[in-house]
Chains A and B, each alone.
Chain A
């Protein structure tokens, strides 16, 4: 692993030369008048506000709609780099899907001794009522977002597999729209793979997963927790772009063995439900009896094979940092190949030797909750205060099985635009992957998240991160 000051910059090589991916962009950039660029920078924010591309934040008092900051310097990936990444992603997603299928069926991987049984037995995301059931087409992970980080020219690592309900794809699409609106001439100079057909690909992929009983054109609906959800904008956006209804659980009811939505004509059945709610809020009869949300009986309809739920209930079992640590074994077990995309080295604190190592090296490690997400509940050793480290040490000793630890990666940087010109900030990359019986479909690029604070490694929007347009160059 390279040290933080030797970080890899996506645009500028160590010798000060512009890397090939950014050649055309830099030529263009140098020719632009700085004052004009600053105006464009401000204009971008106005565009996002007017379009209402916001996420909801709940602080004190009333909910607030916030913008995720957008940076107008694209993150650029060459066609060759992308081909390599895409192969690795496909391999990984294929293995994830086989793994979930296996866990809910014969559990060969446990029998073979490659992963311990406790990995899923004590896991809240494990759904016993999925055991022995095969979702339509055998697909569990209809939509996946794989978080990648880069540390060198050829060194990409998988940081997380978001196999439940990955969000952010609307930013991928809106960022591109915004860039094309602001800098049309750039897109005539540089040939960039388009992303705008993602909603169409999503609609097609979901329709291909319709239950076998569905004879006509499948009716697809997007299930949102409602307009107060932080990702509501995205739910509405995707439904709109796919031409699907955007439903809440109060719109749904089980009628004559089908899940149906209340339309102005009466209840009409749904074939595929792209749900953006957690398992817990799907069916109060099956999961959370205290919940007022959900559709009573939907799991019975599901198990009777009369609706597709995407992603499949119980998929969260693969979306877990303890499972993550076994991904190299999982990939090998199901694909028979070496993983093309490596994991970040991960210490499972449940293991006493690892715990001892982690406790000795807290100041250099990143420690994460096994079930956590969104950048909450984690310790970034190198930037934490002594007091924070001490507090975290106590939590870690109290519940070691709740944590994993990873070395602090020297995430690559990409320039962001500031008043004073370009300055490097750390980035990651989340490509979006669609799975159907027809195959695995990866939209070129994805969402680049950027830590806007100098030196920060946390790219989450809830923690001061922004986003960038991501370009995959055409050959």
Chain B
């Protein structure tokens, strides 16, 4: 496989993951804003923008945080290079670049989703339609992953695509957790205290983990439990441990296929050691923010090493 093609697959799935996660954030924001009064609804939307990492761009455009401004900015603002519309365009243009490395089924799903999303976002999104648009974006991710799992050859290409997915997912979950940790832990003494139901619900919804968490923890909601769930629970498909466990499998498969593991395998091992035998107490001792900072740094180092090892660029 060409290095350029591997790069295209990797980024196609990074962007797809980012699109999906942005939609999850919006979904959580929409839900929360409905259950809040006006002032905290504004707080809610501010938090969505911050968590999406689009604070600077948004502030250059708008002075206030209203729902309709926020979702239109995130979904379709022309000046927003990280908008869902722009990122979905990148998913599709990368898919086009790697057209002969993906199955026809996957290509058609991505192309159709892109056509639908582009049409839906060709005009401002109203209160009445935002729910449908977000659902459509989420479905694009589900369809693409389904098509890939069902139709793609399990060769190098598949593993590059999956590696992109899990690098991005680990990054997103860590970032969401980092942006929200002040909500969870205004001070270290909060560890173990019961939280405001709305706050933890919002964090969990941002990663579509509310149902799963409740199922596993029977309504026991404290900072320790939530952080443990999002960082260490290998059963939850958006946790850091899960993302890195799958990433590790993909990298192992790649080095098997290529007959050699490079720097990426090394970086992966280091990152895995960081999570191995880790307890949630140790995370809090180190400081959650510091822990997450180190995690995302290592995660990016893996991504960089993959690009090097497999000659993504000339």
**A residues engaging B (CB < 8 A)?**
49-52, 227, 232, 236-237, 239-240, 245-248, 250-251, 261-266
Q: Is the CB of A227 within 8 A of B3?
A: no
- Residues from chain B with a CB closer than 8 A to the CB of A245 are 1-2, 5, 100
For residue B223, give the distance in angstroms from its CB to the closest CB of chain A: 42
| B311 in the interface (beta carbon within 8 A) | yes
A265-B258 contact in complex given A51-B108, A52-B111, C-beta closer than 8 Å:
yes
Query: Beyond A227-B97, A236-B99, A239-B100, is A262–B3 a contact (Cβ under 8 Å)?
Result: yes
B 31-49 to A, binary, CB cutoff 8 A, 1 in contact else 0: 0000000000000000000
B144 CB–A CB distance under 8 Å: no
B100, A264: Cβ atoms under 8 Å?
no
- Min Cβ gap B285→A in Å is 41
Instruction: Give chain B's interface secondary structure class.
Output: helix
The answer to whether residues A264 and B2 also contact, given A227-B93, A227-B97, A250-B314 and a CB cut-off of 8 A, is yes
A246–B100 touching, CB < 8 Å: yes
Within 8 A of A (CB), among B1-32: 1-6
- For the complex formed, measure the closest distance between the CB of A48 and the CB atoms of chain B, giving whole angstroms: 11
Q: Which residue of A lies closest to B4 (CB)?
A: A251
Contacting residues, chain A, for B5 (C-beta < 8 A): 245-246
Minimum Cβ distance to chain B for residue A235 (Å): 9
Subset of 19 A-B contacts with CB under 8 Å: A227-B93, A232-B96, A236-B96, A236-B99, A245-B1, A245-B100, A246-B100, A248-B4, A250-B314, A251-B2, A262-B2, A262-B3, A262-B311, A263-B1, A263-B2, A264-B3, A264-B6, A264-B258, A264-B310
Interface positions of B from 87 to 131, Cβ below 8 Å from A? 93, 96-97, 99-100, 107-108, 111-112, 115
Taking A246-B5, A262-B314 as known contacts, 20 extra A-B pairs with beta carbons closer than 8 A to each other, sorted by chain A number, are A49-B115, A50-B108, A50-B115, A52-B111, A232-B96, A236-B100, A245-B5, A245-B100, A246-B99, A246-B100, A248-B4, A250-B314, A251-B4, A261-B2, A262-B311, A263-B1, A263-B311, A264-B6, A264-B310, A264-B311
Chain B: CB-nearest residue to A248: B4
Residues on B close to A: CB < 8 A? 1-6, 93, 96-97, 99-100, 107-108, 111-112, 115, 156, 258, 310-311, 314
Q: Is the CB–CB distance between A250 and B115 below 8 Å?
A: no
**B258 CB contacts on chain A under 8 angstroms:** 264-265
User: Which are the 7 A-B pairs with shortest beta-carbon distances?
Assistant: A240-B100, A236-B99, A264-B310, A239-B100, A52-B111, A262-B3, A264-B6
Hey, which chain A residues are within 8 Å of B99, CB to CB? Answer: 236-237, 240, 246
Chain B positions within 8 Å of A50 at CB level: 108, 111-112, 115
Give every chain B residue within 8 A of A248 (Cβ-Cβ). Answer: 4
Distance of A250 Cα from B97 Cα, bound (Å): 14
Chain A contact surface mostly: mixed
- CB B258 to nearest CB in A, in angstroms, measures 6
B contact residues around A251 at 8 Å (CB):
2-4, 314
Q: Residues of B contacting A240 with CB < 8 Å?
A: 99-100
Q: Which residue of A lies closest to B306 (CB)?
A: A264
User: What separation, in Å, do the CA atoms of A50 and B96 have in the docked complex?
Assistant: 13
CA distance A167 to B80 in the complex (A): 38
Q: Which of A237, A248, A264, A265 has the most CB of B within 10 A?
A: A264
- Please name the residue on chain B nearest to A238 by beta carbon: B100
Q: How far is the CB of B194 from chain A (nearest CB, A)?
A: 50
B96–A52 CB distance below 8 A: yes
Q: Which residue of A lies closest to B102 (CB)?
A: A240
Bound Cα distance A264, B306 (Å): 10
In the complex, what residues of B have CB within 8 A of residue A227's CB? Answer: 93, 96-97
Measured between alpha carbons, how far is A245 from B156 in the docked complex, in Å? 14
Q: Closest Cβ of chain A: how far from B80's Cβ, in Å?
A: 17
Q: Given A227-B96, A240-B100, are A52 and B2 also a contact pair (CB < 8 Å)?
A: no
Q: A306–B312 Cα gap in the complex (Å)?
A: 26
Q: How far is the CA of A52 from the CA of B6 in the complex (A)?
A: 22
Q: Which residues of B contact A52 (CB under 8 A)?
A: 96, 107-108, 111
Q: With A52-B107, A265-B258 in contact, is A247–B115 under 8 Å at CB? A: no
From B6, B96, B311, B314, give the contact of A266 (CB < 8 A).
B311
- Using Cβ atoms and an 8 Å threshold, which residues of chain A touch B3? 251, 262-264
Query: Could you tell me the distance in whole angstroms from the C-beta of A227 to the nearest C-beta in chain B?
Result: 5
How distant is the Cα of A266 from the Cα of B97 in the complex, in angstroms? 20
Give Cα distance in the complex from A89 to B115, angstroms: 42
Distance in angstroms between the alpha carbons of A422 and B6 in the assembled complex: 48
> Closest approach, in angstroms, between the C-beta of B118 and any C-beta of chain A?
11
Q: Which residue of A lies closest to B99 (CB)?
A: A236
User: Which of chain A's residues has its CB closest to B310's CB?
Assistant: A264
Pairwise interchain contact A264-B156, C-beta atoms closer than 8 A = yes
